[in-house]
Structure 1
Amino acid sequence: MKDLIITDLGTASLESYIETRRMLLKKADELTVRISELEPVRTLEMMNEILVLDKDRRLVVEMIASCSYVIEWLRTGRRPGNLRGIERRSGTQREVLMDPAMLPMIANPSMPRSPQEEEKGENRFRLEAALRGLTDRERSCYMLAHGESYSLSEIAALLNISKSSVGTYMVRAQRKVSDNVQGILILVG
């Protein structure tokens, strides 16, 4: 069993990560030098030793990459690789359009339902049945046009698609909704 060396790195701060990366870079250089000293391989034992050293060096290089990632995150205050943070995203990148009618209703089952609430539930059922066959894009276009009264150009800007695509989705959605409305059958009993 190998003896483990435990090193207290202190608190997780930018300075401690920079120091850790510096130590890891030294270790990677040492391993590279040791591998190059053994380079003209003459025996099987030497080859196995080089393979073990190379495996260790790859592990240290991965640790260096992880430290560099954390250092970049700590320096900039945002995830590395992001061109702009969430606070600088455009409205269409931040917002997720959602139909309020699709949100779950919070109802108290112990309270009796009024006739208006029952009618709302029936209308909601009819609406869900009518919109059932639409794709997500068709549903978004249809709900923005008919539910929110947006124009085709406004919908195109919101969804980052062309105005003609919005028109196509609207025609398809209207056809599907019309077919679904004619086919709705509500059973009472």
Structure 2
Amino acid sequence: MLLLSADRLTRRIHEMDQVRTMEEMNEVLALDRERRIVIEMIASCSYVIDWLESGRRPGNRRGIERRAGYQREVLTDPSKLQASRSGDRAADGPEAELRRVRLEAALRGLTERERDCFTLALGEGFSYAEVARLLDISKSSVGTYIIRAQRKIALNIGGRVVQVG
């Protein structure tokens, strides 16, 4: 029905070939406004129909089932991780305590910016974009600071470098 209405309005506008008076001009403008509204309604309905048929927003190339790994990631509360690790620390004994002390020393060996990026991204679970926005730096800088921090920590702890990102 919307298509028929838009077609009727278009025909009425074309029937008024030459506009001679101001009233005729106002009538043509009113018909054109009405026609635009109907065309917008058609576009909105088409958008909704496409969304319902495909199951995803029109124009999106990926559905939720095909998201990248960082977009599917389920963040975990760091306090829960600490609670689950508290029992492990007692079982490992002095070796775990030594690793914890070395990790704290390694974190003290980082620059302030590296420490901020490292703890926000890996400790607090923020994305690189969120860290960049919080610290007012670029996303690539966040990645660079985290890689530097990981290398320094690995050198100070004596472990292997596991790069994230």
Q: TM-score, normalised on structure 1? A: 0.46
1:140 aligns with one of 104, 116, 120: 120
Alpha-carbon offset, residue 77 of structure 1: 1.4
The answer to whether the 8 Å contact 1:99/1:143 transfers is no
The answer to whether the 8 Å contact 2:6/2:35 transfers is yes
The answer to whether the 8 Å contact 1:31/1:57 transfers is yes
The one-letter amino acid of 1:139's match is T
Residue identity over aligned pairs, in percent, reads: 55
CA distance in 1, matches of 2:24, 2:56: 45
Aligned residue pairs: how many? Answer: 108
Q: Which residue of 2 aligns with 1:27?
A: 5
Q: Which residue of 2 aligns with 1:60?
A: 38
Relative to structure 1, the CA distance from residue 74 to residue 33 in structure 2 (aligned partners, 3 Å threshold; closer, same or farther) is: same
The structure with the greater share of residues assigned to helix is 2
CA distance in 2, matches of 1:27, 1:45: 23
Q: Which residue of 1 aligns with 2:20?
A: 42
Q: TM-score, normalised on structure 2? A: 0.52
Q: Deviations over 1:32-59 (max 9, x none)?
A: 1111111321100000101110110010
Unaligned runs of 5+ in 2: 81-111, 125-138, 154-165
CA distance in 1, matches of 2:58, 2:117: 32
TM-align CA RMSD: 3.7
Unaligned runs of 5+ in 1: 1-22, 103-132, 145-159, 175-189
Q: Which residue of 1 aligns with 2:78?
A: 100
CA distance in 2, matches of 1:101, 1:161: 28
